[in-house]
Amino acid sequence: RGSISFKDIPPERIEAIRRLIEDARRAGMSVFEFAKKIGYEDKLAKGFQQLVDEVAKNIKVEEPQVGTGRFRTGELVNSRKTEWTGKSGSTVRRPQIFDGELRAIKETKDIPRSRFTEFVPTIHQFRKMDSPYFKAYERAYLATENIIKAQKKAMREDVKQMRKGFKSEHREIKDLGDYLISRQEGGANRLEYSGIDPKTVKNFGDHPIIKQFEDIFDLAERETNDIRLATGKDKMPKLPNYFTFMYAEALGKKYGDIPNRFIDPNGVIKRRYRQFVEKPFRWTKPRSKLGRKIALNRDPFDVLERYMDQQIEFKNLTPIIAKIAELSKPMKDGINPETGKPKLYMLSKEKPGVHEFITRWGNWLSGADITNPLYGLEGGALARSLNFMRRNITMNRLGANLRTGAIQISALKNTWAMVGLPKTVEGIAGILSPELRRIAKTYSKLLDLRKSELEYAEFIDKGGRGKIEAVGKGSLMHIQYTDSVTATMSWIAAYKAGKARGLKGEKLYEFADDVTSMTQGSSLRGHIAPIQRTAVGKALTLFQTFTINDWNLMYREIFGVDNIKVSKGMVVRRVMDTIIATTLFNMLFEDVLNTNSPLPTPIRAAVDAMDEGRSGIEIGMAVFKELIEPIPVIGGAARYGSDPLGPVAEAIYDWTKSLVDPMNNNVMDDAGPFWETTATLFLPTPGTGQLGKSVRAAERGEDPMGIALGTKKRKKKSSSGFGSF
């Protein structure tokens, strides 16, 4: 920001600097050298070094602040010791909690506990607590996600260069993979069971690439132990073979495990290692039912990238996770005058709703929401099948779907409701201003991470690395682009509104981020609703991330239900703005573009029903279906006649229908022919949905706009079968 004054730097950025110092120290480099290594230009790298030189003396590198530094006043209130010597002989430190933090916790509003909270995104729960202290955790989380993104980008470039360098000398990457597998405990057996003779494996022991792998492992081990020692865990046990450990950890998550070596007890890490050595084939699958050959991942660079993905995620998230875990323990709260012993404050007893929410959130960031009602179905065949079909449906239905890209702009109706029409117009115009775009990019913790729908966020972030996956990512870019532009418009509008309210600095940027997250939805792992944290829940709510967020915004911020900060006057204004904005967007989509609007159209539904000569009850039902459309899951099912169990169940049903009518002789049936329903469910083929819609539209004689977007028709069912998508 043009300032190197320590007091002017917010806690979240101090945390980022602390981690940069840690990473540079572990790598044995100066901050300038390390910043250059991970891809920063000279000018920025020098700026980092200058900043670090100025403020490093004020930062305790080994003590994560998690963005709550301003509350760290008074005495320690931890009921457990915060420092001791572990079995490894190293000093172990537990996150500290201060009296200032306890006071802030006491001032926090409790959250009502209900099963409906499974459908409440994180941002709305934090707003219910109305707590600057807990809000600091969400801001620290966003800062952490930005750090993770930057580090992953640098890591993937490094792995890419390693792969490229090795491949320039040796054409077969699998040869190196076989050699590294042969060095694992039991590796020879795994190769043999895969149909590979261990005696034929080439020896790369003296190749420089092996030293590169070993250096990466050594650095990762030091990082892991440093974080463990700073967050209440002793050093990770010394394992006999690090190649074995890397392979097991990298594949564990893929096959349903949740390995987190930063917080797992040593016994769990040892047991996971031995289990892989002794029973490795639970991680793999037979190539055929007749043979005993086992499919192995023979691409060492893919394994390395998966392993480092986990390393980067958990090394950065663990300080937040550990601090949240400490909040669930008893805290000293003065002295009991009768006994002379410390009184204990239990968050679970005093504020059970806050405790449940923040604990589940911390568990989810660490790898799994273990108290989720659907968690028991994770890791099994059902979960893997649902994830497989969900991924295919996402690629097929959203890939190259022009209408989905076009309707992203309709989310500005929420921005209009929250900050008013004038500021929304300023936001739309502001996208053309290089200076406003620079401010948004520089100061928002949200926009660079922006992906509104969980499904394409997962695909873009974690999709495979082959040619099909690359095409799939490309087929989603138009959605990503229009969503990003819309979110930036919303951020600029909120930024302008915040300035008009007198907000400055971090408060202003936080306000703009919050408005953007609430109005546009967010698919970040730390922002999604609890229902979306399991395979079954994701299948039930496929393409519903925005809808879930939209409903919570409508319920709490527009109608002001259970929200004392929203006055009656604000409710009237926001409701009227929502109605006007919805009407205008409906006119744009249905009258100008002649395609179905993604928003409710109760008036048009009533007019259409009357034109058809329906009874009063039928007209009322048509209007009712439109009005309940914003409600997650049931709204789309009622409005479109789709399956209430979600698009996965809908796709399975369509596939069974196509078995009866494989050529889709009934061309008005949106199920499509057998080839289309099969591709949708079982094959990762981008754009199948768009292609099928366009072919059927052309057969009906529609114009180019109708072929591209689909012609408006009465909404018995959407053109894609999946609600507004």
Q: In the beta sheet, which residues pair with residue 84?
A: 92
CB of 484 within 8 A of CB of 453? no
The residues near 709 (Cβ < 8 Å, ≥ 6 apart) are 402, 403, 406, 593, 594, 595
Residue-wise pLDDT tens digits, 147-192: 898 889 889 999 999 999 999 988 789 999 999 999 888 888 888 8
Q: Which range is least confidently modeled, 355-364, 417-426, 580-589, 715-724?
A: 715-724
Shared domain check, 293 and 174: yes
Per 3-state DSSP, what percentage of the chain is helix, strand, and coil (rounded to 5)?
A: 65, 5, 35
Residue-wise pLDDT tens digits, 58-92: 544 444 455 677 888 999 999 999 999 999 999 99
Report if residue 205 sits inside a domain: yes
Report if residue 292 sits inside a domain: yes
The pair of three-digit structure tokens given for residue 192, joined into one six-digit string: 């043999």
Report if residue 201 sits inside a domain: yes
CB of 377 within 8 A of CB of 534? yes
Shared domain check, 42 and 164: no
Q: Which range is least confidently modeled, 220-234, 270-284, 443-457?
A: 270-284
Residue-wise pLDDT tens digits, 342-369: 899 999 999 999 999 999 999 999 988 8
CB of 557 within 8 A of CB of 578? no
pLDDT of residue 712: 63
Separation CA 719–CA 640 (nearest Å): 10
Report if residue 224 sits inside a domain: yes
pLDDT of residue 89: 94
CA distances from 234 to 217, 225, 311, 533 (A): 19, 8, 17, 29
Burial class (CB in 10 A: 0-12, 13-18, 19+), 217: middle
Sign of CA dihedral 236, 237, 243, 246: negative
What does the buried/exposed string (b/e) look like for 460-483 if buried means 16 or more CB atoms within 10 Å of the residue's CB? beebeeeeebebbbebbebbbebb
Shared domain check, 554 and 692: yes
pLDDT of residue 662: 76
Report if residue 418 sits inside a domain: yes
Shared domain check, 664 and 518: yes
Sign of CA dihedral 569, 575, 577, 579: negative
Give the domain-ending residue among 13, 37, 61.
Answer: 61
Percent of the chain at pLDDT exceeding 90: 43
Domain extent, residue 455, equals 376-599+632-709
Report if residue 699 sits inside a domain: yes
Nearest Cα neighbor of 143 from 519, 445, 468 is 445
Shared domain check, 523 and 382: yes
Distance, CA of 614 to chain centre: 45
Separation CA 586–CA 18 (nearest Å): 49
The residues near 40 (Cβ < 8 Å, ≥ 6 apart) are 48
What's the domain count of the chain? Answer: 3
Give the domain-ending residue among 281, 296, 317.
Answer: 317
Q: Look at residue 570 and tell me whether its pLDDT is greater than 50.
A: yes
- Most distant pair of Cα atoms in the chain: their distance: 87
What average pLDDT does the chain have? 84
Rounded average pLDDT over 617-635: 77
Separation CA 193–CA 184 (nearest Å): 14
Q: Look up the pTM and report it.
A: 0.84
Separation CA 516–CA 444 (nearest Å): 10
Separation CA 75–CA 96 (nearest Å): 10
CA distances from 478 to 316, 452, 493, 707 (A): 31, 13, 23, 18
Rounded average pLDDT over 629-648: 67
Rounded average pLDDT over 469-484: 83
Q: Which range is least confidently modeled, 213-227, 511-525, 625-639, 699-713?
A: 625-639
Angle at 438 between CA 436 and CA 444, to 5 degrees: 95
Shared domain check, 527 and 443: yes
Report if residue 328 sits inside a domain: no
Rounded average pLDDT over 520-530: 93
Separation CA 83–CA 96 (nearest Å): 10
Give the domain-ending residue among 317, 335, 366.
Answer: 317
Angle at 566 between CA 564 and CA 570, to 5 degrees: 150
Q: Which of 50-59, 583-592, 669-678 has the highest mean pLDDT?
A: 583-592
CA distances from 340 to 75, 334, 335, 347 (A): 18, 10, 6, 22
Shared domain check, 274 and 159: yes
The length of the chain in residues reads 725
Report if residue 593 sits inside a domain: yes
**Secondary structure of residue 323 in the 3-state scheme:** helix
pLDDT of residue 705: 82
Shared domain check, 513 and 405: yes
Residue-wise DSSP of 600-662: --HHHHHHHHHHTT--HHHHHHHHHHHHTTTSTTHHHHHHH---TT-HHHHHHHHHHHHHHST
Q: Look at residue 279 and tell me whether its pLDDT is greater than 60.
A: yes
610 band by pLDDT with thresholds 50, 70 and 90: confident
